[in-house]
Chains A and B, each alone.
Chain A
Amino acid sequence: MKISWKGIVILAVLLVSIFYDVPTLLTFLPQEQGDNERAMQALLTQTKEMIDPIKGLDLALADSKKRRIQILTDGSTSFSIENKILQGILNDEFTLSKEGEDVYLTLGKNADPNIFISEIAGKLNALFTNVRKIKEVKLTEDQSALVFIMEEEKRLSPKSEPLKTVLGERLEVSYQPGKSQYVSREKTRENVVSLGLDLQGGMYLDIGVESEAVVKSVLDKLADDIENILIDDNINYESVSRITDSEVELLLEAGEEFDLFGEKYTRLLGDRFDTLPKEDGFIITLNPEEVKRLKEKAIEQALETIRNRIDQLGVKEPSIQRQGEDSIVIQLPGLKDPDQARRVIARVAVLNFMIVADQGSVEAPEDGQVVLYEEIRDSTTKELLTTKPYLIENKVLLKGSRIRDARVGFEQTGTGAYVGMSFDEVGKDEFATITEENVGRLLAIVLDGKVQSAPRINEKIPGGEAQITGSFTPEEATELALVLRSGALPAPIVVHEERTVGASLGEDSVRKALISLTLGFACLILFMMFYYRMAGIFSVLALIFNLLLIVSALAYFQATLTLPGMAGIILTIGMAVDANVLIFERIREELNRGSPIRASINTGFQKATITILDSNITTILAAIVLFQFGTGPIKGFAVTLSIGILASMFTSIFVGRFLFEVVYLNRKNLDTISI
């Protein structure tokens, strides 16, 4: 039999598609419990074995003349030249030797003469210092990631490439500045169709930052500052205040004049503000570029803060991305507690330390005083019982941004939890001064505009430690500590869109979609084989090929399969048959007209192909529009629909014809055909 090039092409496509299908199919196989944990344990041991011996190495001294490097060790560890990290630098070119206590790495005789001993020694030294920065290597609690805890605030220098072979080959590494640690997780597997959040459960959040609030606070502060200068300069004014979201109005008393372009004001206004004179005063606005810059900064800062917070939630593969101008899209697959995630992400967490005023009354606060409330809640039901007002001096003495760390602690007497904070160097000094100057007064700890607690300052606190008490449950305290560690949001956030699906619902959806796919497919196979006999079998083969192609294309593009996406596949299966029906009906028609079998098959394919192209292109047009328009799930539907249509054109026209050729057209005597 002569070799058919069509057969080869089809076989090749089939093999490639199977190649791409396999990894995805494997992910659907049930995994043995603990498999992952064991692998991570092994990885941990392996990593420790590589890193620990190097920790004992101090210095590499180059001896260029003798073409060797002397290694100074602390004597406690013995290291092997086979160590993978060392090999990354030494490249099999060196041999290890000892002379008494001294250890030498000698360059082999046949080694490349261009190797500079001093360069290699430099690399080794960089490696040694880097490895010494690693304090500890351990697994996360859920055993899903390796954590490299660094000495305080130390980072690995990018120069020590060989460490990457340890950290980064199988794993993805990210640095968490707040905690001085690297976390390395398994890379998302390549070429696998992953399940969308609606199928595996999880949370999709599209949020925006109320960046107008940032602009407003800048204007409020400006109004305050101008007012202060006006008072200092004894200028009689009517009012200085923010009158809209974007304008500050300055009204002078009639007849009063002053120079807004004087030195003091220009320093204050800079070139960030635009001024517009009006009768008896001015309107001051932020100029548009400045507004844009402020908003941009707000959203970047929010992104950073939210990323920090989510890192600490322990979600396996979180995705936090900026979308468009003012949106942040957060995807948290397999999330166990959506409520907690929502609370942790949305909390503004602006923490201020202020002093409770000694004089005045809550009913009539004086200038420079403000009334803030503490919410008293029932400790078990969390119901709001009452609010307690505090008269507070309107001046922030210390801000939450000075917090270096926050942890949960438990009070010895009761069951309540508290949050202990430690300040950074600057904050420590400031806190000491505040407590020294205000002994005997009440210190209000204000979180997001609410008084958390107001303890009495008994003495100067020099250690830079403070506590927030209140009737916290351990969970509340944990969340509070988490948000305090990761910093405040620049402004409140608004939820544009949230879609949270529980894992059980996701499983149900997958199961139901698979059932309907299987049943629909089975009905179709029966129908086609019953109606078209042999040709029906061809179409079934083409259909199976079609399914393989769809899955492999999705795997190749690493697409996410959503529920609508699955609906798209099921729908395409139904429509894919259409191409076969068109062809078969044409062939039958030609046969009815009395054309010979061979000619009928050829004409049938030829004529049907034009129709198939025309009709499918229009469907693809609709799918493209859907894709353009779509948000997440709808996009998934558009993608599977388009891929399905393209695949069905290939399988029905090309593969279908090939099967006809193999079974019928190659026969010498073509008398009957089963169609």
Chain B
Amino acid sequence: MRLFSKVPKLNIMGKMKYGFIISAIVLVGSAASYFSKGISYGIDFSGGTLIQIKFQDDPDLPKIRTLFQDKIKTNVNITTFGDAEGKEVLITLSQEAVEQQNGDLSSFVTETLTADFSGFDIRRVETVGPKVGEELKTKAFQAALYALIGILIYVGFRFHVRYGLAAVVALFHDVIITMGILILFEREFTLTIVAALLTIIGYSLNDTIVVFDRIRENVARMPRTPLLDVINQSVNESLSRTVLTSVTTFIVVFSLFIFGGEIIHDFSLAMLVGIVVGTFSSVFVASPVVYHLNALQLKKK
């Protein structure tokens, strides 16, 4: 079976304007969601405590909220968590609330709930101190920076600086859009999301490099053909592979998203978005940028 009976001859590069327009719209949308909602940092970065509780019966959220807010005056974030059963609750306490309780948190939770709820089980407690939160923020930022520099150097060395730049542009594109969509879905920004973003970077780059590799090969094979045509042919030639790999990766991540449980839900969501955006960007962002950078270079001469 084949996706395309023979190598497709789509005029992809001719449509690159539309690609740019789509990208621009989504990028602006992402930026808008970023500026209107802002990143909500998870406790990994903001510090605080997260407590996951499983109730035997359906939990009464407003009641739980009142119980906690009566005890601590600061804001308490309480949401349901997990699958459709909805019997799990996630309580997020701020740094101040943690300090109020002298760190003895799960006994505090138990004390607060015991009177009104009979069967519950504290399944997970995570506490991150303010110092660690700040450290992690810096580290995450550094990690992204180092990854990008490493990629720029490697791609610049293996191909050409133009390609390296184009790849990095595509990566920014992917990361910004993925973040924008996560913010739109009101997902918290946690360590796991950082891991997902870096994986998306690796994955999207993988896609981009495959196309670049073809361009490099074809440029050597057809030195007289205009670059635009070469790029167009290269994208066409690697199109079936690009689509197929995205499909296979999407399949497994989708199974992770559906069956993998709530704890890696955000991770797999980010990955799903990243796979789609990364595939799009390797065709409609990275390759056109190479072409434009090249044109810019020619003009200068």
A residues contacting B by CB (< 8 A) are 198, 206, 338-339, 342-343, 346, 494-502, 504-505, 508-509, 512-513, 515-517, 519-521, 523-524, 527-528, 530-531, 563-564, 567, 570-571, 573-575, 577-578, 581-582, 585, 588-589, 592, 607, 610-611, 614-626, 628-631, 633-634, 637-638, 641
Q: Are A509 and B259 in contact (CB under 8 A)?
A: no
With A567-B260, A575-B203, A611-B209 in contact, do A495 and B103 touch (Cβ < 8 Å)?
yes
Q: Are A577 and B248 in contact (CB under 8 A)?
A: yes
**B206-224 at interface with A (beta carbon < 8 Å):** 206-207, 209-210, 213-214, 217
Residues of B within 8 A of A564 (CB): 192, 195, 264, 267
Nearest CB on A from B135, distance (A): 9
Residues of B within 8 A of A618 (CB): 151, 154-155, 202, 205-206, 209
**B169-222 at interface with A (beta carbon < 8 Å):** 191-192, 194-195, 198-199, 201-203, 205-207, 209-210, 213-214, 217
CB < 8 Å neighbour of B146 from A519, A607, A616, A625 = A625
B1-9, B17-25, B291-299: which one contacts chain A? Answer: B1-9
Closest-by-CB residue of B relative to A498 is B127
- Interface check B249, CB cutoff 8 A: yes
B55-63, B67-75, B137-145: which one contacts chain A? Answer: B137-145
With A567-B260, A571-B249, A615-B210 in contact, do A338 and B201 touch (Cβ < 8 Å)?
no
Q: Are B7 and A589 in contact (CB under 8 A)?
A: yes
10 interchain pairs, CB-CB under 8 A: A342-B103, A343-B104, A496-B132, A513-B260, A516-B255, A519-B255, A619-B206, A628-B146, A629-B140, A631-B191
Closest-by-CB residue of A relative to B256 is A516
**B153-172 at interface with A (beta carbon < 8 Å):** 154-155, 158
Residues of A within 8 A of B37 (CB): none
Q: Are A508 and B261 in contact (CB under 8 A)?
A: yes
CB < 8 Å neighbour of A523 from B241, B245, B251 = B251
Residues of A within 8 A of B241 (CB): 581-582, 585
Interface string of B120-151 (1 = CB under 8 A from A): 01111111110110001001101100110011
B residues contacting A by CB (< 8 A) are 1-2, 6-7, 52, 54, 103-104, 106-107, 110, 121-129, 131-132, 136, 139-140, 142-143, 146-147, 150-151, 154-155, 158, 191-192, 194-195, 198-199, 201-203, 205-207, 209-210, 213-214, 217, 237-238, 240-241, 244-245, 247-256, 258-261, 263-264, 267-268, 271
Excluding A570-B260, A629-B139, 13 further A-B contacts by CB distance (< 8 Å) are A497-B127, A504-B123, A509-B263, A517-B255, A520-B255, A563-B263, A567-B256, A570-B256, A611-B213, A614-B213, A621-B202, A629-B142, A629-B194
Q: Are A505 and B52 in contact (CB under 8 A)?
A: yes
Q: Are B264 and A563 in contact (CB under 8 A)?
A: yes
Q: Are A494 and B129 in contact (CB under 8 A)?
A: yes
Residues of A within 8 A of B217 (CB): 607
Residues of B within 8 A of A638 (CB): 195
Nearest CB on B from A256, distance (A): 44
Closest-by-CB residue of B relative to A501 is B124
Residues of A within 8 A of B268 (CB): 567
Q: Are A498 and B126 in contact (CB under 8 A)?
A: yes
Bound: A641/B267 CA distance, A: 15
Closest-by-CB residue of B relative to A340 is B107
Residues of A within 8 A of B214 (CB): 611
CB < 8 Å neighbour of A578 from B129, B249, B253, B256 = B249
Q: Are A524 and B248 in contact (CB under 8 A)?
A: yes
Bound: A516/B268 CA distance, A: 12
Residues of B within 8 A of A625 (CB): 143, 146-147, 150, 198
CB < 8 Å neighbour of B252 from A198, A573, A641 = A573
With A338-B106, A589-B237, A614-B209 in contact, do A500 and B124 touch (Cβ < 8 Å)?
yes
Nearest CB on B from A207, distance (A): 9
CB < 8 Å neighbour of B205 from A504, A588, A615, A631 = A615
Interface of B is mostly: helix
Bound: A175/B195 CA distance, A: 41
B1, B146, B195: most-surrounded residue (chain A CB, <10 A): B195
Bound: A82/B205 CA distance, A: 68
Bound: A588/B198 CA distance, A: 33
CB < 8 Å neighbour of B195 from A577, A582, A615, A634 = A634
Residues of B within 8 A of A339 (CB): 104, 106-107, 110
Closest-by-CB residue of A relative to B237 is A589
Q: Are B213 and A520 in contact (CB under 8 A)?
A: no
Q: Are B209 and A567 in contact (CB under 8 A)?
A: no
Return the 5 tightest CB-CB contacts between A and B, nearest first.
A622-B202, A520-B252, A629-B143, A520-B255, A574-B252
Nearest CB on A from B131, distance (A): 6
Q: Are B206 and A616 in contact (CB under 8 A)?
A: yes
Nearest CB on A from B83, distance (A): 10
Bound: A615/B244 CA distance, A: 16
Q: Are B271 and A571 in contact (CB under 8 A)?
A: yes
Nearest CB on B from A488, distance (A): 18
Residues of B within 8 A of A512 (CB): 259-261
Bound: A615/B6 CA distance, A: 25
Nearest CB on B from A503, distance (A): 9
Q: Are B198 and A622 in contact (CB under 8 A)?
A: yes
Q: Are B132 and A502 in contact (CB under 8 A)?
A: no
Closest-by-CB residue of A relative to B6 is A592
Bound: A610/B214 CA distance, A: 10
Q: Are B248 and A338 in contact (CB under 8 A)?
A: no
Nearest CB on A from B9, distance (A): 13
CB < 8 Å neighbour of B264 from A502, A504, A567 = A567
Nearest CB on A from B157, distance (A): 11
With A505-B52, A619-B202, A631-B191 in contact, do A520 and B251 touch (Cβ < 8 Å)?
yes
Residues of B within 8 A of A498 (CB): 125-128
Bound: A352/B77 CA distance, A: 42
Q: Are A578 and B248 in contact (CB under 8 A)?
A: yes
Residues of B within 8 A of A589 (CB): 7, 237
Nearest CB on B from A655, distance (A): 18
Bound: A306/B191 CA distance, A: 29
Bound: A634/B198 CA distance, A: 11
CB < 8 Å neighbour of B123 from A505, A516, A573, A624 = A505
Bound: A426/B51 CA distance, A: 47
Bound: A495/B132 CA distance, A: 10
Q: Are B158 and A614 in contact (CB under 8 A)?
A: yes
Residues of B within 8 A of A519 (CB): 255, 259
Closest-by-CB residue of A relative to B1 is A531
Bound: A620/B2 CA distance, A: 30
Bound: A513/B256 CA distance, A: 7
A515, A571, A616, A618: most-surrounded residue (chain B CB, <10 A): A618
Closest-by-CB residue of A relative to B257 is A516
Q: Are B129 and A497 in contact (CB under 8 A)?
A: yes
Nearest CB on A from B7, distance (A): 7
Nearest CB on A from B197, distance (A): 10
